[in-house]
Structure 1
Amino acid sequence: MVRSDGFSGVERHIATLARAQAEAGHDVTVVGGSQARMRVAMAATGVRTLSGDTLRQAAESVSRAGHPDVVHAHMTAGELTASLASRAPLVATRHFARRRGATTIGRASAMVIRRRLRRQIAISRFVASAIDGSSTVVYPGVGTDNDASTHTRPTALVVQRLQPEKNTDVAVRGFAAGAPAEWTLEIVGRGPELNMLQDLVRDLGIADRTTFLGFRDDVPDLMRSASVLLAPCEVEGLGLSVLEAMSHGLPVIASRAGAHPETVGLAADAQLFEPGDAQDAASMLARMCADATLRARYGAQLAQVQRTNFTPQAQAEATEAVYQQVLA
């Protein structure tokens, strides 16, 4: 469960895991997330979906879910709701590299959650090292892309929320300094930094080569045809967009920070630039743009890393092992 009416990274994480759990024979109910999109994601799986738009609605949905063996909550509001609305053993997945309780309300919530919490899952070693309490690392999975990927457009992609902590400006500056004149930049995402970034591309003289795409539901198609993904965030808990790019064999140039060394860093030709260093990113991008053979080789390496380490089936199996510890 998650206390949410959206469908961003956490909700996509839940949907992928729920599908894999249902395919493994488990009886799964998902509480929260955009009901329209969650129902599409759960189509033909047998997974029941219930609303979690508000705390009250989420609590009522948890009560309607019957008597589960385990309640698996995501994010503090979901953890708190589960703590109060269900007596089933509580497992929480931690998505961000920070402790609970940044506010007075958060600290009070954390006290309630800790009394009910049986196990924690961290989505990466980076997250596990920063959160409060012990945890088991279970990497998220993404589906393997079996469609033909062309990667023929001379385009660099950025796919992330336009929030300050995402360092989108580093990707923009790296593109401006490193990409040849015939290359374009596409930025997928929404957020409060949009106006600042639009001003930045004008100041850097790349406004005519940059497109702000906003929210898109065709990101897989963009990843199949683009040639590079830029991932500049220094505090990324894992990065589903990075894993999805890897599944498409799309070369990724990422910050050597957050959980990127645990994903992109597993490839032999890993392209990890120094955190916040746009010139280092530009140098890597320039080499990648100039060498199609390197792009193809590196993309194939990333695809193999994803298929070996980051599948929904592996995620479901590792998650079940945590549940079994709780139920033992």
Structure 2
Amino acid sequence: MKYSKKPVVLYIITKSELGGAQKNVYDLIENFRKDYQIHLATSQLGLLTEFVSDLDVAVHLISNLSRDIKLSSEFIAIKECISLINKIKPDIIHAHSSKAGVIARIAACISKTPVVFTAHGWGFTQGTPPLQRTVALIAEKLLAPLSAKLICVSESGRQQALKFGVGNKNSLQVIHYGIANIPLCIANSSQQPPRLIMVARFQGQKDQATVLRAIAQLSNHPIHLDLAGSGSSLEFCKDLAHSLGIAERVSFLGDRTDVPDLLAQSQIFILSTHYEGLPISILEAMRAGVPVVATSVNGIPEEVEHGKTGLLFPAKDIEQLAQHLNYLLQHPEERERLGNNARQLTRQLFDANLMVQKIEAIYERVLADKVKIKR
């Protein structure tokens, strides 16, 4: 829909680090900036703000917006957010990530601005710390009625919300991530020796340790593992690689902006994790034709169909992960079959244009409702 005046959309996300939620926000901004006046608010400068600034999109900092639970900071963050809303007067606020969702919805309610919230993974998901889970569930139950729409990135996330009484069938909508079908190098599944890769932050949610322990069981294969990402558990994992005697077979790459190139050089993608929404890293691997071996939690089975587009294993199951990797290492033809199937699936179900169309439909409904209220 074209408007006489570009509607103003304010995106709010807690962190500007490299992650799936940030990639999703960037994709939305890149696609909507022609028809909407876009603003981005986050807590600090980082890769997301850098990339968004290159699009000539205004960036604002809410310095007290943090993941930590601290009431004094929360009140200040709400005041900062209200001040920003009063300044730019958005027609829609689209909040991403748990803490930003809390702050934005309270500020939007006070400012009488419609807000959409995307839950990239609920804070009350099984596997999160008990205190965080309890606080998150209470907050989401209280704030759900303030949301014009609650977007879940997986059906698993929607069912979880319904189970715990967060939102309802009308307010909750599933919109899977979509990634651009851009021309890129496709991985050579038969390359020897095979390279394995995991792209994820080194923090409590992710489980690189299980991957390292599984690799230690594959001493009969001349393989190399690349671990891209940074975070609090990085040094622990480096020490673990040394203690397992596999340090020479593992490269810790740090944060990378050339992930498509890394995937094109890889033969197997691994994601070991405790809980997830719908990992974009898996979709990027599938787009590159790299077979995926991943933990069967939350939204991951909606991306990876076991035996057709990849292989799944239970969380923390070192033995099962090692068996899956051993099988794919011994059968390059299976790597090729799974990789080809995965590429086709991303084009059919996880297309960026489809995602954008669904979210724009929500924006249009919200704007239409706003006009009705004014009348």
TM-score tier, shorter chain, comes to: 0.7 to 0.9
String of CA shifts for 1:75-95, please: whole Å, max 9, x gaps.
343234333253221111111
1:123 corresponds to which of 153, 156, 163: 153
Q: 1:109 to 1:65 in 2, by over 3 A?
A: farther
Q: 1 CA distance for matches of 2:137 and 2:289?
A: 42
User: For 1:291 and 1:108, how far apart are their aligned partners in 2?
Assistant: 48
With over 3 angstroms needed to count, the CA separation of the structure-2 counterparts of 1:11 and 1:34, relative to structure 1, is farther
Q: CA–CA distance in 2 between the matches of 1:99 and 1:251?
A: 30
1:319 partner SS: helix
Residue 41 in structure 1 maps to residue 51 in structure 2: yes
For residues 121-160 of structure 1, the aligned pairs below 5 Å read: 121-131=151-161, 132-134=166-168, 135-151=172-188, 152=191, 154-160=194-200
Query: Following superposition of structure 1 onto structure 2, how do residues 23-172 of structure 1 map, counting pairs within 5 Å?
Result: 25-32=35-42, 35=45, 37-38=47-48, 40-42=50-52, 47-54=57-64, 55=77, 57-68=80-91, 70-82=92-104, 83-85=106-108, 86-99=111-124, 102=132, 110=140, 113-131=143-161, 132-134=166-168, 135-151=172-188, 152=191, 154-172=194-212
Q: TM-score scaled by structure 2?
A: 0.77
Residues 135-189 of structure 1, C-alpha deviations (whole Å, 9 max, x = no match): 1111111222412224446211111122233222221122222364321111112
CA distance in 2, matches of 1:310, 1:53: 34
1:239 aligns with 2:246: no
Q: Partner residue of 1:225? A: 265
* Mapped contact 1:32–1:50 kept (Cα < 8 A): yes
Cα displacement (A) at 1:107: 7.4
Q: Aligned ranges for residues 188-199 of structure 1 at < 5 Å? A: 188-199=228-239
Contact 1:185 1:211 in 2 (8 A): yes
Compare 195-204 and 34-43 and name the one that shifted more.
34-43
Residues 312 and 40 (structure 1), Cα distance of their counterparts in 2 relative to 1, 3 Å cut: farther
Provide, for residues 287-326 of structure 1, a one-character-per-residue CA deviation record: whole Å limited to 9, x for no partner: 2122222222211211111111112211111112333443
C-alpha separation between the residues in 1 aligned to 2:121 and 2:211? 22
Give the alignment's TM-score, normalised by structure 1: 0.87
Cα pair 1:123 1:138 within 8 Å, conserved: yes
- Residue 15, structure 1, aligned to residue 48, structure 2: no
CA offset digits 1:212-232 (Å, max 9, x no partner): 122222222111111111111
Distance 1:128 1:204, change over 3 A: same
Q: Does 1:2 align with 2:12?
A: yes
1:278 corresponds in structure 2 to 318
d(CA) in 2 for partners of 1:105 and 1:234?
Answer: 19
Distance 1:264 1:120 in 2: 24
Instruction: Summarize deviations over 1:33-69 as a string: whole Å, max 9, x none.
Output: 655644553467564433344325544333332241x
Bigger CA radius of gyration: 2
One-letter code of the match for 2:167? Answer: G
RMSD over aligned Cα, in angstroms? 2.8
Which residue identity lines up with residue 152 of structure 2 in the other structure? A
Deviates more, 1:31-40 or 1:281-290: 31-40
| 1:316 paired residue among 345, 351, 356 | 356
After superposing the two structures, state which structure 1 stretch, 207-216 or 127-136, moved more: 127-136
Count of aligned pairs between the two proteins: 326
Residue 180 of structure 2 contacts residue 351 of structure 2 at CA under 8 Å; is this kept in 1? Answer: yes
Partner residue in 1 for 2:5: none
Give the Cα–Cα distance (whole angstroms) in 2 for the partners of residues 103 and 42 of structure 1.
32
Summarize the Cα distance change of 1:136–1:162 in structure 2 as closer, same or farther, 3 Å threshold: same
Any conservation in 2 of the 1:232–1:275 contact (CA below 8 Å)?
Answer: yes
CA distance in 2, matches of 1:111, 1:258: 20
Q: How far does the alpha carbon of each residue in 1:242-263 deviate from its partner, in whole angstroms, 9 at most, with x for none?
A: 1111121111111122211100
Structure 1 spans left out of the alignment, 5+ residues: none
Assess if the C-alpha contact under 8 Å between 2:18 and 2:47 holds in 1.
Answer: no
Are the structure 2 counterparts of residues 4 and 59 from structure 1 closer, same or farther at C-alpha, using a change threshold of 3 Å? farther
1:293 aligns with 2:293: no
Taking a change above 3 Å as real, the CA distance of residues 30 and 267 of structure 1, as seen in their structure-2 partners, is farther
2:218 counterpart of 1:178: yes
